[in-house]
Structure 1
Amino acid sequence: MNITGEQKLLAILAHLAYLLGGLGFIIAPLVILLLRKEDPFVYHHAKQALVAHLAILAASFITSLLCLILVGLLLVPVVGLLWLVLLITSVIAAVKAADGQFYEYPLIQRLVSKL
């Protein structure tokens, strides 16, 4: 499969979309996913990034709610660690995308396969 520069750029953008701030880390991979359904390379990377970003958003949201009853305070370091893992794995994914390779985030493949 011959991967173009545009395909690589879109895949990298999907993985590193959290640099956009706000909900850009959800919106960018979602838009890429919806607009490039016919492109297996870009679709794969956008789907991986979207599920990973939604998972970390859900974990952060749940921890925030639990902080209201003080239980979540114990989970704050765990969520911080999850964000660090997301940072590392998304950089790895972006490098793989730049090399024209597929990448699967660890721990979320059951979720990805359902999408």
Structure 2
Amino acid sequence: MNDSGIPPMNMPVINRDDKNMAVMAHLLPLFGFMVPGVNIVIPLVIWFLKRNKSLYIEHHARESLNFQITISLLVVLWIVLKLMLVGLLLLPLVPVIVIVVLVFLVRAAMKAGRGEFYRYPLSLRLVN
């Protein structure tokens, strides 16, 4: 958006429902802390159902899905290293990583709620 609040000519108009769905694509994966795998399934379902209906929702669901896959791969790597090294020096990293993930999720949800496109930093781009 420019200073007058009017979107540029090439930017699609994003309605409130699209913004809400995009926010949910970023925040609902938090249930993955309670039920492993849900963090990937939720953005995958949103992306699959909405990818042909809204470019905005498709973008945010895809970004969320890529980020959740990246985080899941890192968790698996962390578990393997923890088992191999019997937890030496790896346990103190858990709170730091959780806080960083939460900050990225909240930041993405805020941008989605404002109608902005967002890309997670340090995320693998596995789903195009």
Q: Same fold (TM over 0.5)?
A: yes
Could you tell me which runs of 5 or more consecutive residues in structure 1 were left unpaired when the two chains were aligned. Answer: none
Q: Judge conservation of contact 2:66–2:126 (CA < 8 Å) in 1.
A: no
- Which of residues 112, 116, 119 in structure 2 aligns to 1:97? 112
Larger mean CA deviation between 2-11 and 27-36 belongs to 2-11
Which protein is bigger by CA-based radius of gyration? 2
Larger fraction in helix: 1
SS in structure 1 at match of 2:117: coil
Contact 1:11–1:94 (8 Å) recurs in 2: yes
Provide the aligned length of Structure 1 versus Structure 2: 113
Matches within 5 A, 1:32-111: 32-38=46-52, 39-70=54-85, 73-108=88-123, 111=124
Q: Which of 15, 21, 24 lines up with 2:38 in the alignment?
A: 24
Cα contact 1:63–1:76 (8 A) shared by 2: no
| Counterpart in the other structure of 2:16 | 5
Normalised to the residue count of structure 1, the TM-score between the two structures is 0.85
Note closer, same or farther for the CA distance 1:27–1:93 as it changes in structure 2 (3 Å cut): same
> Counterpart of 1:41 in 2: which secondary structure?
helix
User: Which structure 2 residue ranges, 5 or more long, are not aligned?
Assistant: 1-11
Separation (CA, whole Å) in 2 of partners of 1:113 and 1:69: 27
SS in 2 for 1:69: helix
TM-score by length of 2: 0.77
